A and B are shown apart, each in its own frame.
Chain A
Amino acid sequence: MSEHVHVHPKLFYVKVFLALIVLTTITTAVAYVDLGIFNTVVALVIAVCKASLVVLFFMHLKEQTGMTRVVIIAAALWLSVLIVITLSDRFTRHWFPSNGPWEASAVTAPQSQ
């Protein structure tokens, strides 16, 4: 039986490849410019763009069912849960002021009879 699978022309893939190379060049070049905190932001944004290109076009996500998208989003979401909550623990430890080390209560324990 014949399948109705959409076959892209070779040029399609070459274009995606070139876009990826361009983005790689950009991200490397930007690293040599001082943007402070934005160096990280730009690098990650570009990385996400490149990953999206690979997922959408090389991995054919554009032609896939919704379930596959759900699966990918779930993976990204769960990874962010792990990272964000772990980091949020570490960086909110000083939000609640404490009175210092645990001290024995001023009230003495009742004497046992």
Chain B
Amino acid sequence: MSAEVHGAILVAEQFDDFEQQKSADAFGMWLFLVTEVLFFGGLFCGYCLYRNVYPEAWAAGSHLLKVQYGAFYTALLICSSLTMALGVRASQLRLKTSLTVYLVLTWIMGAAFVYIKLRYEWYGDYLEGLVPGPHFAPHGENLELINHFHALLPHVSLFFIFYFCMTGLHALHMVVGVGLLTALLILTQQGKTTRGNYNWVEIVGLYWHFVDIVWIFLFPLLYLIGGRYV
């Protein structure tokens, strides 16, 4: 496919110039993020409904999660957003080494998020019998906590469905994000992202920040319900 070259930037043939291409790419990504808001939104809708119908079960379920994990993930993702933003900046300034460093750091944090979540938090939930479905069987301290809130087990199971669905969908998006970063790293190695065409890094950045924002809401909604003063 032929493309015009404007000062070493490749402009795709359907666009008149780089400005139009960059503008279109960014707008396209923003629209995609809108679809993502509505995609997660269905889960948020169900969450809101059931939280209002079964507040005690939601509070109990939230207490069964470990705040340390939640807070750690939040801090990790905010940090990764910083490195991502710095990466976009490096791409704007055509600094290939800096960009590579920031992309690698973001990549590591994203991968760490997914790994720790699956290997430690989810596996721990599984061992404690908190996976909803036929094997949902909280015991010991967890069961006492549920009784303390006067919650019913099926409703707490429902909480955990939303917990696993929402964090699972989020984790899936993180994996996609890590994949996008891998692609960016390859392109950066080839020098294709530091010729003035920072649009690719920018739109991956938009996606990454969006996934961070989803977590910013998931953290209080899942981990901090009903306060932790009990």
Query: Could you mark each residue 39-69 of chain B with 1 if its beta carbon is under 8 Å from any beta carbon of chain A, else 0?
Result: 0011011001100110000000000000100
Q: Which of B79-87, B140-148, B159-167, B184-192 contacts A (4 or more CB under 8 A)?
A: B79-87
Which partner residue on chain B sits nearest A40 by CB separation? B225
Chain B nearest CB from A73 CB (Å) reads: 10
Residue pair A31, B227 in contact (C-beta under 8 Å): yes
Q: Chain B contacts of A33 at CB under 8 A?
A: 227, 229
User: Whole-angstrom distance from the CB of A87 to the nearest CB of chain B?
Assistant: 6
Q: Which of A59, A79, A86 contacts B49 (CB 8 A)?
A: A86
Flag if B227 contacts A76 (CB, 8 Å): no
Interface 1/0 per residue, A50-74 and B, CB below 8 Å? 1100110111100010011001101
Instruction: Name the CB-closest residue of A to B40.
Output: A79
A24 and B78 contact, CB distance less than 8 A: yes
Contacts A17-B82, A75-B37, A82-B41 given; does A32 touch B227 at CB 8 Å: yes
Binds A, one of B113-121, B128-136, B172-180, B206-214: B206-214
Q: Are the C-beta atoms of B74 and A34 separated by less than 8 Å?
A: no
Closest CB of chain A to B166's CB: distance in Å? 14
Decide: A5 and B92 in contact? CB cutoff 8 A: yes
Whether B217 lies near A91 (C-beta < 8 A) is no
Main secondary structure, interface of A, reads: helix
- Residues of B near A75 (CB, < 8 A) are 33-34, 37-38
23 A-B pairs (CB sep. < 8 Å) = A7-B93, A16-B82, A17-B78, A17-B79, A24-B75, A28-B224, A31-B227, A40-B225, A43-B220, A43-B224, A50-B213, A51-B216, A54-B209, A55-B209, A59-B205, A71-B30, A71-B34, A74-B34, A79-B41, A83-B44, A90-B49, A90-B53, A91-B52
B residues touching A (Cβ–Cβ < 8 Å)?
6-7, 18-19, 26-27, 30-31, 33-34, 37-38, 41-42, 44-45, 48-49, 52-53, 67, 71, 74-75, 78-79, 81-82, 84-86, 89, 92-93, 196, 198, 202, 205-206, 209-210, 212-213, 216-217, 219-221, 224-229
| Residues on A facing B (Cβ under 8 Å) | 1, 3, 5, 7-8, 10, 13-14, 16-17, 20-21, 24, 27-28, 31-35, 39-40, 43-44, 46-47, 50-51, 54-55, 57-60, 64, 67-68, 71-72, 74-76, 78-79, 82-83, 86-87, 90-91
A-B pairs, top 4 by smallest CB distance, nearest first, are A43-B220, A17-B82, A31-B224, A75-B34
